[in-house]
Amino acid sequence: MYYFREDLKSKKPVNINVPDKRIKMGLNESSLDPFEVVKEEFLEKMKNVHLNRYFNDITKTLRKQLANYAEVAPECLAFGNGADEMLYYLFNSVRNDNNSFAVSLAPSYFDYKSYSGAVGLGIKFLSLNTDFDFSVEKYLKLCDNENCKLAVLCNPNNPTGNLLNENKIIEILKRSNQLVLIDETYFEFSGKTFADKIYEYPNLVIVRSFSKSFSAAGLRFGYIISHPDNIKELEKVMTLFHLNLMTQTMISTMLEKKEVFLEHNKKIIQNKEDVYQKLSAINGISVHPSATNFLTFSAGDRTEDLFNFLNQNDIAIRPVWHHPVLVKHVRVTISNAGHNAAFLKNMKKFMEEN
């Protein structure tokens, strides 16, 4: 006897295929340890956060701090365990029945498909053009269906790294009959946000993360920005105590020292430009401009061999060659000077010797 949803029979477990190496440049993580930045302040703040209780004033404090940072009202926010959990809750909140589906561009964030499938929400894709642009009319045509419950746009897009055309996003917001999710996970690197438009477009939902720009991938904190009416509906599918008080205290402390993290981001952007120039100068490498903390590039027919060579030299990057638009492409996370130098040294060595 099978005890679960019928569609789970054919669903594969979520899996990240990135090798675990000494130099980790595959998951867009930061080389900065946030605990080392805020350790003393965090431990002091924890003295007033009692983990034997469900409630603490730290939740209200965090909401006010986050609202100030995002430049929205506190009632325009919902937060939880990473952007992934916020996506999961959002997908769950819009699913109506087995015919419900979302629309996304492709290639884009890998786990839109994973988390929509986890809640039984279908998903349809419009492929990007070879220049990473797309047709608004084709996108809206996919959305023009009573069963389409969500339009998804990743901006900047992962794994291509580019910002989408702003006018096209506005056009979709104006003409869509469903919620439009803009994934701003890399907002701090791109500097582009639509958060100031949540009242102008009440169908707009924005998701962000602390995993990238605040160096806290292992902490798991993400949040949604939207019109208060949307937040109220979204919270109906969220468990009441889903985000632990210790994480809330850590994030609150990090926001008090946000300048440290934002300065680190500026350094990452500088490092990215340096790596971009040096990668572009290597014969046989084609690298794309990026508004994120990663670069996507190709070594042509040698890409897979290059990927394996870097693995053998204890450097992990990520293959992104599974979609035709990015065939023979990989993605590297920009890291500290030492990791970047090791990566470039091995890149040059492989390309010169193979």
CATH no. for residue 306? 3.90.1150.10
* Residue 10 placed within a domain: no
Side-chain half-sphere exposure of 243, counting CA atoms within 13 A: 26
Cis preceding-peptide flag for 228 (omega within 30 of 0) = no
- Residue 300 lies in domain: 19-32+259-353
* Residue 6 placed within a domain: no
Joined together, the tokens standing for residue 298 give 């190709």
* Residue 330 placed within a domain: yes
Q: Check whether residue 199 and residue 268 sit in a common domain.
A: no
* Residue 110 placed within a domain: yes
Q: Check whether residue 143 and residue 197 sit in a common domain.
A: yes
Q: Check whether residue 283 and residue 205 sit in a common domain.
A: no
The closest of 105, 84, 223 to 163, measured between CA atoms, is: 105
* Residue 269 placed within a domain: yes
Q: Check whether residue 198 and residue 274 sit in a common domain.
A: no
Are 83 and 89 contacting, i.e. CB atoms less than 8 angstroms apart?
no
Residue ending a domain, choose from 202, 232, 257: 257
Are 281 and 352 contacting, i.e. CB atoms less than 8 angstroms apart?
no
Per-residue pLDDT of the chain (354 residues; tens, 9 = 90+): 999 998 888 888 887 778 889 999 999 999 999 999 999 999 999 999 999 999 999 999 999 999 999 999 999 999 999 999 999 999 999 999 999 999 999 999 999 999 999 999 999 999 999 999 999 999 999 999 999 999 999 999 999 999 999 999 999 999 999 999 999 999 999 999 999 999 999 999 999 999 999 999 999 999 999 999 999 999 999 999 999 999 999 999 999 999 999 999 999 999 999 999 999 999 999 999 999 999 999 999 999 999 999 999 999 999 999 999 999 999 999 999 999 999 999 999 999 998
Q: Check whether residue 106 and residue 137 sit in a common domain.
A: yes
The closest of 85, 95, 289, 282 to 179, measured between CA atoms, is: 95
3-state secondary structure string, 156-186?
CCCCCCCCCCHHHHHHHHHHCCCEEEEECCC
Residue ending a domain, choose from 208, 234, 257: 257
Q: Check whether residue 204 and residue 102 sit in a common domain.
A: yes
Contacts of 172 (CB under 8 A, 6+ apart): 136, 139, 140, 143, 151, 153, 180
Degrees, nearest 5: CA angle 24-29-31: 75
Residue ending a domain, choose from 205, 225, 257: 257
Joined together, the tokens standing for residue 206 give 């924005």
Q: Check whether residue 201 and residue 311 sit in a common domain.
A: no
What is the number of other CB atoms lying within 10 angstroms of the CB of residue 173? 19
Degrees, nearest 5: CA angle 26-31-32: 145
Bridge partners for 123 per DSSP? 102
Q: In this structure, which amino acid lies at residue 282?
A: I
Q: Check whether residue 75 and residue 211 sit in a common domain.
A: yes
* Residue 270 placed within a domain: yes
Degrees, nearest 5: CA angle 95-97-98: 105
Q: Check whether residue 87 and residue 171 sit in a common domain.
A: yes
Q: What is the DSSP letter of 211?
A: S
pTM over 0.75: yes
Give residue 54's Cα distance to chain centre. 29
Q: In this structure, which amino acid lies at residue 63?
A: R
Q: Check whether residue 199 and residue 153 sit in a common domain.
A: yes
* Residue 3 placed within a domain: no
Q: How far is CA 62 from CA 144, 221, 337, in A?
A: 39, 12, 33
Q: Check whether residue 108 and residue 251 sit in a common domain.
A: yes
Query: How many residues in the chain?
Result: 354
For the chain, how many helices (H) and strands (E)?
12, 13
Are 35 and 251 contacting, i.e. CB atoms less than 8 angstroms apart?
no
* Residue 13 placed within a domain: no
Q: Check whether residue 269 and residue 201 sit in a common domain.
A: no
What was the pLDDT predicted at 287? Answer: 98
Number of structural domains, the chain?
2
CATH no. for residue 139? 3.40.640.10
